[in-house]
Each structure stands twice: as C-alpha cells, then as structure tokens.
C-alpha cells in the first residue's frame, strides 16, 4: 500500500474564532463510559489523520451550518434529570479560544464535561484543568512515540514533545481520563500497540479501538479490512501487563 503523505511543516495551533458548533447529538450512551451524554462537534483540526471519519468538519467546515448554542443549552437544562454531561469533540476542540467560555457556560448549568483531543495543544489542556473546566479527558495516541510513524498516522509532521507533554499533563491532572488508540491495519501492528501501552504505563485506562474503514478520509483505507475483534482482545491481554484497565471497543 502506498504510504500516506503528510503535509510539510509542523502543525501549530490555530485558534479559530468565532467558534461554531457544527454538530449536536442529543443523547449518546457510547461517548463516555457509564454516562448519558450530549455530544457537541466543533470544526477544524491541525491533524489530517487518514482514518478520520469527521474529515468533512475539517476540510469543509463552512458546508455545515452553525447550531445555535441557546437551543443546545435549552435542551440540556430541560433534560438535566437524565443527561449526565457533555462531550466536546471535533475536529480538535483545543484550537478555539472560545472553548473556555463554552466549558464555563456548560458548567454553570450543571454539566460535567469530557474533552476529546489529539493532545497537540498541551498548554490549552493545562489551562482548562487549572480552571476546573473539564472532568474527563480522552486523548488519542496515534502510534508509538516516534516521529516518523506518528506523523504518518497524524497526516502531518508532528512534534513528539507536544504529545509527550499532554500525556504527562493528563496523567498528573487528578482527573479521570483515558488514552485510546485506533488500530489501523497497514499502519499499526500488535507490537506497535503494546509499545504504546508500555510508554503510557502507568496510566488509568487504555482503550484499543477497532478501525472502521467506512468513510475514512483516505480512500485507500476504505478498502482495508479491520483486524478481528479476537486479535484486538489478544493485544489487550498483553497491554494489561503495563496498564491495569484496558478496554476493547469494536
């Protein structure tokens, strides 16, 4: 398979303003284990991961109309008896200056907040943690912490020190969290995933996620057969030597 080509130059954070909410799932049982949540999708990302499913929000965000936050807040307040929290995902949420204000407003109406992130903006994560504006962080760890393979999975040239800093920040935050890796055939092997768990150790939680080829950004990856669930379970058993809680999502 031809190697995925990344963009030249390291991707620096781009703080897009104003921040538009491009997607809203009212009720989800799968985006925050043990919680009933609503999910907000923000546009734009500094990565170009070939396995990304939300690439429309990244490449053509203007095609998606903004959703009025007042309507979202109204729904959350009216359904606060069963909605446990809000997941903010994307795209990459930490690109936006307005993320802090969004989190603050959600906190004011009693919502817990989970942030999904690629970990490339550790200073933004630290700021949110210090301000008490986030309750759970899920960070995607694309590959072993080596520049070449990580850059292939991120679709851009990556400064590994930024990734390492975010991992340390999250582990020392005092918050609940998880690191997660999507196991993409032709890019990652079992050994790669085990190496990731070794690097993360000790950590609270590691999620091994099955790759879904449907509608991946890379047309070539849409033809790739995912690993079998049993294979991922075997990998998880090895990873449990380094991280106590390892889950498989397939």
* Number of domains observed in the structure of the chain: 1
Are the CB atoms for 161 and 10 separated by under 8 Å? no
SS3 190: helix
153 located within any domain: yes
10 located within any domain: no
16 located within any domain: no
Average pLDDT over residues 21-45: 96
120 located within any domain: yes
Give residue 250's pLDDT: 86
What is the rounded CA–CA span in Å between residue 40 and residue 48? Answer: 20
Strand partners, 40: 24, 88
Give residue 7's pLDDT: 42
Give residue 17's pLDDT: 53
Convert the pLDDT of each residue in 95-153 to its tens digit. Answer: 998 999 999 999 999 999 999 999 999 999 999 999 999 999 999 999 999 999 999 99
Instruction: Indicate left, alpha or beta for 34 from its phi (over 0: left) and psi (-120 to 50: alpha).
Output: left
174 located within any domain: yes
Are the CB atoms for 196 and 235 separated by under 8 Å? no
Convert the pLDDT of each residue in 207-216 to its tens digit. Answer: 999 999 998 9
Are the CB atoms for 236 and 183 separated by under 8 Å? no
What is the rounded CA–CA span in Å between residue 189 and residue 191? Answer: 5
Give residue 18's pLDDT: 58
User: pLDDT averaged over the chain?
Assistant: 92
Q: Which residue has the higher pLDDT, 189 or 2?
A: 189
189 located within any domain: no
Tell me, what CATH number does 133's domain have?
A: 3.20.20.70
Side by side, which strands form the sheet with 205-210?
23-28, 37-41, 85-89, 112-117, 136-140, 176-183, 205-210, 245-249
Q: Place 1 in a pLDDT band, splitting at 50, 70 and 90.
A: very low
Q: If we measure between CA atoms, which residue out of 79, 84, 76 comes closest to residue 33?
A: 84
59 located within any domain: yes
Average pLDDT over residues 223-248: 97
31 located within any domain: yes
Are the CB atoms for 111 and 86 separated by under 8 Å? yes
Q: Is the Cα dihedral 3, 7, 11, 16 positive or negative?
A: negative
What's the domain range around 52? 23-179
Are the CB atoms for 171 and 203 separated by under 8 Å? yes
């Amino acid at each position: 398979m031809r190697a995925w080509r990344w963009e030249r130059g390291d991707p620096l954070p781009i703080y897009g303003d104003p921040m538009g909410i491009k997607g809203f799932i009212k009720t989800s049982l799968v985006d925050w284990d043990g919680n009933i949540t609503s999910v907000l999708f923000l546009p734009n990302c500094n990565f170009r991961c070939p396995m990304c499913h939300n690439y429309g929000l990244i490449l053509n965000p203007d095609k998606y109309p903004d959703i009025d936050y007042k309507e979202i807040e109204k729904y959350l307040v009216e359904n606060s008896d069963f909605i446990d929290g809000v997941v903010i995902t994307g795209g990459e949420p930490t690109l936006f200056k307005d993320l802090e204000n969004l989190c603050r407003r959600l906190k004011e109406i009693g919502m817990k907040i989970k942030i999904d992130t690629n970990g490339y903006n550790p200073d933004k994560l630290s700021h949110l943690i210090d301000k008490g504006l986030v309750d759970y962080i899920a960070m995607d760890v694309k590959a072993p912490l080596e520049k070449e393979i990580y850059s292939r999975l991120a679709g851009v040239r990556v400064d590994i020190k930024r990734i390492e800093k975010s991992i340390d920040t999250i582990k020392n935050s005092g918050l609940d969290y998880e690191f997660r890796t999507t196991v993409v055939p032709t890019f990652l092997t079992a050994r790669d995933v085990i190496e990731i768990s070794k690097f993360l150790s000790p950590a609270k939680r590691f999620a091994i996620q099955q790759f879904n080829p449907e509608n991946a950004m890379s047309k070539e990856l849409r033809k790739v057969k995912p690993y079998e669930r049993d294979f991922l379970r075997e990998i998880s058993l090895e990873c449990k030597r380094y991280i106590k809680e390892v889950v498989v999502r397939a």
